[in-house]
Structures are given as C-alpha cells and as structure tokens.
A and B are shown apart, each in its own frame.
Chain A
Amino acid sequence: MNNFVLHTENLEFGYKTVLTKPVSLNTKLNDIICVIGRNGVGKSALLNTLSGILPPLSGNIYFDGIELKKTKSYERPKFVSFVPSKPEFLMNLTVYEMAALGRYPYTNIFDIKTFSDKNIIEETLKEYDLDNLKTRPLWALSDGEKQRVMICRAVIQQTPLIILDEPTAFLDYIMRKKLLNDLKNLAINKNKCIIFSSHDIEISLKYCTKIWFFIDNFIETFSPDEFINSKIFKDFATFREL
C-alpha cells in the first residue's frame, strides 16, 4: 500500500448494478488524474464511490493504506474532499459560510472554530480572490465564482485527495484553463492528489499526469503521451464509434 494516496482493489461500483469489470486503480501525491468516458459510462458513479458517497458494490478502497470500510464516517472527510459538478445551495448560504464548512471535519459537535481554523479560512479565501465576496449569498455568484468557492472549500478541508466531478462543465475557455492551472498548482505546490472528470480532452491532456479511460466496461490507465498515441485516441479524434 505504502505511499498510494488512493488505492482500489477489485473495485466494483455503480448504482445497484455493476457498471464495469473490477478495477484496481492507484494514485500518488502530485498526481492529476483525468477521468474520461462517454456520457453514462459511470464517471460520476466512480467519483462518488471514491469519495465515499456511494458505497462500493464489492472490492476495497484504501486511503493512505487504510481500508475505507474501517474508517469512521467523520474521519473520511479528512482524507478526501468532493466538489460536485453542479453545486446546489440552499437559501442565502454565504461564501464565507460555505468556505467555513470545509473546517467541519476538524471542529467539535458545536462547531467551535479555533483561531487557526479561522486563519486557514481567511487565508484561503484571500488566495482565491474571494475575500471581497465573503458576505454574498452563493446564488448571486456566477458559475465560475461558485466553482471557485467550492474548490476553495475543498482546499480549506486540507485533504490529500480532492475529487471534482466535471469541474469545467459550466466554464468558458479562459476559465477552464485558469481552473486547470489552479488544480495543477494545488497538486504540485500543496502536495495533493487531484482526480477530476471531464469531456474536455484536449485541455485536460495538457494538464493531467494520468488518464483513466472508460472503455468497454473497463477502466484503462494511460499517461497523456500514451493516450495520444493510442488507437483509442485516434478513433476518438476521428469520431469513430468506440
């Protein structure tokens, strides 16, 4: 197990029915992994399973060598933070409140934040240019800003693993590049492992270090170079049915 941040063993996942053959995946710190596949192949199901939202149908998931089933539900958010594809908020939850939710795994039942908790929140908000939006309700923000708040929250959660479900879906071209740049910075400078799904192969290839490709009920692992030279990519690029 050693230094794998995330490691799966014959993992089968899906909503009630199994979506792929058992997969064994592993990732290390500083990895940026892009999950690619057509609509409905189970990208979201995989990401939900890895972040502990969806229980695996069989097989094991290990975080830092510790079996997921054996971790307490309140310990899991210290390993992995999840950024949903279309964030849904309720009422006038403000930017600061959302960011502060990232400290929840570390606070007690009455959510008393220590000085250092508050410091982390303030610093990270500044880092993501959000400190002037602090008191704004989230519904009043643009899609790009919402995405930034969610990522900021994931950073505040201080987990080695960050999983994002289609983070680029609602962003324009410039914003996508900026987002992926941010993710790369996180992976390299802050020593994190990033897993995200995307339909945007071209831009993702530039930034990721590894690709998990859904093909024929199986997940194949490529490096970006391997992927570009693979037959799959050529079929893909010429719009041939996979």
Chain B
Amino acid sequence: MAAVTTTPRQKVGWGTANVVVIALALIPVLWMASLSFKTPAAILDPSFVPAQWTWGNYDQILSTSQFIRPLINSIGIGLIATLVAVVLASMAAYAVARLRFPGKGVLIGMALLIAIFPQIALVTPLFNIERAIGLFNTWPGLIIPYIAFGLPLAIYVLSAFFREIPWELEKAAYVDGATPLQAFVKVIAPLAAPGMVTTAILVFLACWNDFLFAISFTSTISSRTAPAAMEYFSGSSQFTVPTGPIAAAACVITIPIIVFVLFFQRRIVAGLTSGAVKG
C-alpha cells in the first residue's frame, strides 16, 4: 500500500525516520555486545566501542555449568511447554473457530483473564503448592505454569488463523474420495501449519523471556533458566560485579531471538496483530 502522495522530500523524511527507528532499536543491543567483548580493564571505560577486544567473557561463561546448565534448562523447558501449549491450544482453537457449542464465550473470557493476570498474584500460592507436591525446583514446576500462561495467547492466535482456513477444501477432498485422515494430512494440516509455527514462536519467546516464575520456583541450577541464572553470576565473584560475563550471557540468550526475528519477522507480526484486528 503506497502512501497517499510521496514527494522526494517526504521520501527523505521517512527514510530518516527509518534510520532513527533502526538506530534506537539497535543501540542498546550493540552496547550489550560491546560490553561482552570488553576486557575487565576496558569495562571501566565508558566508550561505546571496546578499546581491547576479548573472547574471555564468553570462554568464562561457556566453560561453567553455572551458565550451560541453565541454558539447557531454558531450551528444554521452553520447547516442552511450547509443544504442549500449541497442541492443547490447537484443539481448543479448532473448536472455537469451527464448532458451535455453549460455553465458547466463557472459554474466551477465561483466556483473556489469564492473559491480563498479574503473575505475581500466583507466585505466593503456586510456590506453596509446588513445595507441597514436590514440583518446586523441577522442570515440570516451570513447564506447567508456562503452559497455562502460553495457552491464552496460543488460543487467540490460532483461532484467528483457523478462521481464515478455507475449510471447504476439506469437503472437496471428500468428494474426490479422500479418507478423513488423508483430508487432514494432505489438505488441512498444510494450511494450518503456518499458524501453528507462528504460535509456537510467540509462546516460546514468552517462556524464554520469563524471569519472575524462573526465580520464584527454582533454587538450584538443576532447573533454573538462563535469565534467572544471570542474577546469580553477581555472587560468584567476591568484590566486583561480573559485568563482562553477564553481558556475554545476555548476548548468548539474545542471539536466538534475533535469529528468530530475522527468519520469522512476517509471521511474528501476523501472529501479534491477529487478535487485535479481529477483536
């Protein structure tokens, strides 16, 4: 969609605006990257570009289980929570988009409530419940809350996607003699896949990002996730704040996000905005 009119001067104006936006988005990230390459001496120099470059900070964090183990936890917990949330949400979203049944409004209202729910309100009771039933400081102790908070988002995005699928194609497949399984595998699944990928990305980002549950429901590196583990770097060296290692860890957990964003930019935007336009 082109703009209403575009004179060369306006083009320059919008181009400048573009550059400003990109700079504002990237400068804090570049600053973090710069810190992660600074030597301990260079950390105490506020210049934006490191005077001396080093891989030392990365060597340090990647050679200790204090960071590697939480990184594995983050990936594992995030993937499992995402998978379960997307499967459960697909079933619910299919029902919301395709079937008539009483209680649909209740389901949507409930999902909305949870989407706006203040997580801190659940930390105290969940902490006590998890201690009582032995889930505290385990993978499931984080996976289950992540699923619950991923579901509303996933149901919203998926039902918006599922409503757009041309379901008549399924009937056409039956007319052509396909079995229900064939109709699903050959016709519906390929149409539903993009929406499910988008949803999975958004849910995974939410799990990857979580900090409050991660510091509340874990106590050792056996289940602590990467964002929560960075907090504990601070204690590891006695008198100085380990700025370099924390910056390196921040870069390591940021890289997958940037890769995701580069690859799936269109899908993430479609997923984020699907609920807003329809609603």
The answer on A and B forming one complex is no
Q: Chain B residues in contact with chain A, CB under 8 A?
A: none
